[in-house]
């Protein structure tokens, strides 16, 4: 018998990661270590990292003689660990004998997981999330927690998270898509998930958010692999301290994959209000409101909105680019999908991720601004050298458009009551190199006597319900209440009464909202004109498309989402007697 030689630690020796042992040579007694499978404190050589015991790989002499299987010590190689993790994390739909589990429709309806028991039994506290870990879905989870739990605004919450993560452009686009689609389709997603959860309202709110964003991907994102959705959801729950709820997450999403096709969705005949509320994720109170104002057919078009995909509207800095040069610049953007908007001088862009990080945006070559907001600024018909007041100006889109139209001449005073929002206006003007903008912290309801009769034009884009831009601000529909609208109506009237005093005789007042509610729009203007007979309605300038000018009513232009193919907006132009 050959003498047993101690293996070398050099080259392919024991303990070297990736090393191989010469075949046909037995090993010495394994060294004592503080890790590894088998007996505590003893490193096993029955794994891929260190070779196998015996003169041939695969089977020992004893196993060959007795016909038994190789020793069942666990394989601790990287690939083997990865495979075992996957097997632990996934329920492949089979029982312990490997037979596929199948459920009839009646069985699937009763297969609902008790969220309240799972949550109460584990009582897991969520540790502070680190959105730098976990990629696009982790960032989306963090943003949605801020929106759905902390009542944050969608755009601001997403921007805050995006600034704190390191994501590729592709992952940024995925994160943005998940966040906006989940908020926009929330009623629809909850209706589907409730078929697989008992007492969903008592489920841990953070885990419920995770299930919502996962269901969103399964329902609306065909390019996302289903296995990746489930896998990532379980991994995220475990990483954030919800080990006790990973089984619930896995089971709910697996059931969702198998049985979502048999969900009994509401029908029109069951009640139009309930049907529209679930299918288009609109609170029932708003559905009833729109039907009362516009009738069933038009109300449904408004609720559906006008977007088949997610995009932002951009326009060039008029001081630096004409339309042709700007369009050429857009065509060179990698990964951006660009198409002309309904309004001349505007383009729709999708697939850009966090557009604020684009170098051309940061250099002030273009702005993000909705078409209807551009129309409101055009309604002022600003000329070079004018003195213009933008009363509720933040974040500064209309201010910038007016300043550019005036070619950096005259003055545009941009007011807002919140200092941090005024800071946004200043930064935006600086980015665009606009030197005729004067951002100021001002309460526009308080009259400033020294400014009476000093302005050529005043534009008031008043605080409102936001019912016309729910596609851009999907969280707004969940904040709606009749009481809040009544407060807004009083605020709008106060702002109109105060700011109209600053207009010179013969000057212009433009009142605008992003609402589709008459009490905030035409009825508000009508009441203002009764209180201030020195003002009269004036026609919109030719810079407004003719098809929209022809729609103007007695007290302004109402743009409807889904019907006019733009954001919902109201614009009224008035002139003061000379």
DSSP characters over 20-79: -PPTT----PPPB-S--SSSTTB--S-BTTTB-SSSSSS--HHHHHHTPPPP-PPP-SHH
Per-residue model confidence (pLDDT) at position 113: 63
Evaluate whether 422 touches 441 at the Cβ level (below 8 Å): yes
CA distances from residue 116 to 197, 198, 248, 418 in whole angstroms, order as listed: 9, 7, 11, 41
Distance CA 567, CA 292 (A): 21
Backbone φ and ψ of 478, nearest 5°: -85, -10
Q: What is the pLDDT of residue 186?
A: 95
Class level of CATH domain 312-368: alpha beta
323, 366 contact by CB (below 8 A): no
556 three-class SS = strand
Written in H, E and C, the secondary structure of 330-348 is: HHCCCCCEEEECCCCCCEE
**Residue 136 corresponds to which tokens in the numbers above?**
């696009």
How far apart CA 7 and CA 13 sit, in angstroms, is: 6
Q: What's the CA gap between 122 and 242, in Å, rounded?
A: 8
| Catalytic one of 346, 464, 500, 514 | 514
Establish whether the linkage from the previous residue to 396 is cis, with ω within 30° of 0: no
The dihedral over CA atoms of 163, 168, 171, 176, expressed in degrees to the nearest 10, equals 40
- Coil vs helix vs strand at 387: strand
The Cα 213–Cα 143 span in angstroms is: 11
Non-local (6+) Cβ contacts of 521 within 8 A are 513, 515, 555, 556, 558, 570, 572
Determine the topology of domain 111-262 in CATH. Answer: N-utilizing Substance Protein B Homolog; Chain A (1.10.940)
The strand order across the sheet containing 347-350 reads 337-340, 347-350, 312-316, 366-368
447-475 core/surface letters (b: 16 or more CB in 10 A; e: else): eeeeeeeebbbbbbbbbbbbbbbbbbbbb
Pick one of 3.90.79.10, 3.40.50.150, 3.40.50.80, 3.40.140.10 as the CATH number of 371-576.
3.40.50.150
Task: Give, rounded to a whole angstrom, the gap between the first and last alpha carbons of the chain.
Answer: 118
> What is the structure's pLDDT at 234?
95
514 an active-site residue?
Answer: yes
Nearest to 186 by CA among 311, 280, 303: 280
DSSP string, 123-188: -PPPPPP-TTSSHHHHHHHHHHHHHHTS---HHHHHHHHHHH----HHHHHHHHHHHHHHHHTHHH
pLDDT average per 10 residues of sequence, the chain (578 residues): 43 42 42 39 37 39 41 45 42 41 39 56 47 77 95 90 87 90 95 90 92 96 89 94 93 92 90 95 95 96 74 93 93 92 94 85 96 97 98 95 97 96 96 97 96 98 94 89 96 98 98 97 98 97 95 96 92 96
Residue 261: what pLDDT? Answer: 85
Distance CA 507, CA 233 (A): 59
Type and span of the H or E element at 247: helix 246-259
Cα gap 18→39, rounded to integer Å: 23
d(CA 305, CA 566): 9
- Token couple for 499: 């700011």
Q: Do domains 111-262 and 371-576 have the same CATH topology?
A: no
Query: Tell me, what's the pLDDT at 206?
Result: 95
Residue 45 in contact with residue 57, Cβ under 8 Å?
no
Q: How many residues comprise the chain?
A: 578
Sketch the domain layout of the chain as residue ranges: 1-57, 111-262, 268-304, 312-368, 371-576
Strand partners, 458: 389, 509
Q: What is the pTM of this model?
A: 0.74
Structure tokens at 438: 């004067």
Tokens in use for 340? 């002309």
Q: Who's near 473: CB < 8 A, 6+ residues apart?
A: 153, 154, 155, 466
Classify burial at 116, counting beta carbons within 10 Å of its beta carbon; exposed 0-12, middle 13-18, buried 19 or more.
middle
The 3-state DSSP class for residue 539 equals coil
The answer to whether the beta carbons of residues 326 and 371 sit under 8 Å apart is no
Q: Are 321 and 365 in contact, with CB atoms under 8 Å apart?
A: yes
pLDDT of residue 163: 87
**What CA–CA distance (Å, rounded) separates 197 from 118?**
11
Instruction: Please report the pLDDT score of residue 202 as a whole number.
Output: 87
Three-class secondary structure of residue 104 per DSSP: coil
Q: How many beta carbons lie within 10 A of that of residue 390, not counting itself?
A: 31
Give yes or no for a contact between 434 and 410, defined as CB atoms under 8 angstroms apart.
no
Return the pLDDT at 112.
63
Number of H helices and E strands in the chain, helices first, is 21, 14
């Amino acid at each position: 018998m050959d003498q047993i030689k101690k293996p070398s630690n050099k080259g392919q020796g024991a303990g070297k990661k990736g090393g191989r042992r010469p075949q046909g040579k037995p090993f010495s007694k394994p060294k004592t270590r503080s890790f590894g499978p088998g007996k505590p404190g003893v490193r096993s050589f029955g794994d891929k990292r260190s070779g196998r015991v015996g003169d041939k790989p695969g089977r020992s002499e004893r196993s060959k003689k007795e016909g038994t299987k190789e020793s069942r010590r666990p394989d601790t190689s990287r690939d083997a660990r990865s495979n075992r993790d996957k097997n632990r994390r996934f329920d492949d739909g089979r029982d312990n004998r490997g037979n596929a589990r199948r459920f009839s429709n009646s069985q699937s309806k009763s297969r609902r997981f008790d969220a309240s028991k799972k949550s109460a039994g584990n009582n897991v506290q969520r540790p502070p999330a680190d959105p730098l870990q976990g990629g696009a879905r982790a960032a989306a989870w963090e943003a949605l927690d801020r929106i759905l739990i902390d009542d944050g605004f969608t755009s601001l919450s997403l921007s805050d998270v995006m600034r704190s993560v390191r994501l590729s452009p592709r992952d940024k686009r995925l994160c943005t898509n998940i966040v906006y689609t989940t908020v926009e389709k929330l009623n629809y997603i909850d209706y589907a998930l409730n078929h697989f959860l008992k007492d969903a309202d008592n489920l841990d709110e953070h885990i419920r958010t995770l299930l919502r964003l996962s269901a969103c991907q399964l329902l609306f994102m065909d390019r996302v692999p289903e296995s990746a959705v489930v896998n990532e959801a379980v991994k995220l729950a475990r990483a954030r301290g919800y080990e006790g709820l990973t089984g619930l997450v896995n089971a709910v999403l697996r059931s969702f994959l198998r049985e979502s096709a048999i969900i009994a969705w509401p029908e029109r005949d069951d009640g139009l209000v309930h049907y529209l509320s679930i299918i288009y994720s609109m609170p029932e109170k708003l559905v009833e409101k729109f039907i009362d104002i516009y009738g069933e057919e038009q109300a449904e078009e408004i609720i559906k909105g006008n977007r088949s995909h997610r995009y932002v509207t951009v326009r060039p800095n008029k001081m630096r680019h004409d339309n042709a040069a700007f369009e050429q610049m857009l065509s060179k953007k990698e990964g951006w999908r660009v198409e002309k908007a309904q309004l001349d001088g505007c383009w729709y862009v999708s697939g850009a991720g966090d557009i604020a990080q684009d170098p051309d945006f940061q250099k002030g070559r273009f702005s993000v601004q909705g078409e209807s907001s551009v129309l409101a600024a055009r309604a002022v018909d600003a000329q070079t050298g004018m003195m213009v007041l933008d009363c509720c100006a933040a974040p500064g889109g209309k201010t910038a458009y007016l300043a550019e139209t005036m070619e950096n001449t005259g003055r545009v005073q941009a007011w807002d009551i919140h200092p941090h929002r005024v800071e946004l206006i200043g930064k935006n003007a600086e980015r665009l190199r606009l030197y005729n903008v004067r951002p100021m912290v001002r309460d526009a309801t308080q009259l400033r006597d020294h400014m009476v009769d000093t302005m050529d034009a005043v534009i008031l884009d008043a605080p409102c319900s936001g019912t016309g831009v729910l596609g851009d601000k999907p969280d707004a529909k969940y904040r709606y209440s009749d009481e809040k609208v009544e407060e807004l109506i009083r605020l709008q009237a106060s702002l109109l009464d105060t700011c109209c005093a600053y207009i010179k005789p013969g000057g212009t007042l433009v009142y605008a909202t992003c609402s589709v509610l008459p009490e905030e729009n035409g009825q508000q203007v009508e009441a203002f004109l009764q209180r201030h007979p020195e003002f009269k309605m004036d026609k919109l300038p030719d810079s407004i498309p003719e098809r929209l000018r022809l729609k103007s009513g007695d007290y302004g232009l109402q743009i409807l989402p889904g019907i006019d193919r733009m954001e919902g907006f109201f614009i009224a132009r008035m002139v003061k007697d000379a």
